[in-house]
């Protein structure tokens, strides 16, 4: 009995260490988020973006923006997804003339 208890505790300890060392994977949205940059109205698409990750979009986005993911998209006026929010799009929503510098997704 004592040997089994020691083995069980050893396995439990190993599982606990692995759980701390390798945290659960981040959740991702399902679908595409499409936006356009200027000049040239160039389309860009984020596919299955990860929840909570900030996606700087490089140049200033201006134009049609479509959220075809299953998560809310929060667009920011700065590149680091902080401070002022430009807009928010729920799943399936779109906006004709959006202007933002970064986007983040959340459930």
Q: Rounded mean pLDDT of 66-87?
A: 94
> Which two tokens mark 92?
């399936």
Which is higher by pLDDT, 107 or 74?
74
Query: What local confidence, expressed as pLDDT, does residue 19 receive?
Result: 47
Enumerate long-range contacts of 40-49, CB under 8 Å, 24 or more apart: 46/103, 49/103, 49/105
Query: What local confidence, expressed as pLDDT, does residue 72 receive?
Result: 97
Instruction: Summarize pLDDT for 2-55 with one digit per residue, the tens.
Output: 556 555 555 555 544 444 444 445 688 999 999 998 888 899 999 999 999 999
Q: Against a cut of 0.85, is the pTM above it? A: no
**Domain spanning 27-106, CATH architecture:** Sandwich (2.60)
Instruction: Summarize pLDDT for 79-104 with one digit per residue, the tens.
Output: 999 989 999 999 999 999 989 999 99
Return all residues near 54 (Cβ < 8 A) that are at least 6 apart.
Answer: 80, 81, 102, 103, 104
Query: What local confidence, expressed as pLDDT, does residue 106 receive?
Result: 92
Sequence ranges of the domains in the chain:
27-106
């Amino acid at each position: 009995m004592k040997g089994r208890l020691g083995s069980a505790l050893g396995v439990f300890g190993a599982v606990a260490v692995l759980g701390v060392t390798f945290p659960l994977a981040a959740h991702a949205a399902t679908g595409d988020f499409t936006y356009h940059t200027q000049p040239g109205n160039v389309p860009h698409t984020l596919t299955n973006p990860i929840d909570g990750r900030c996606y700087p979009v490089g140049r200033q986005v201006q134009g049609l923006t479509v959220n075809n993911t299953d998560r809310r998209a929060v667009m920011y006026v700065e590149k680091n997804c902080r401070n002022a929010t430009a807009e928010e799009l729920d799943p399936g929503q779109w906006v004709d003339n959006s202007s933002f510098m970064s986007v983040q997704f959340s459930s």
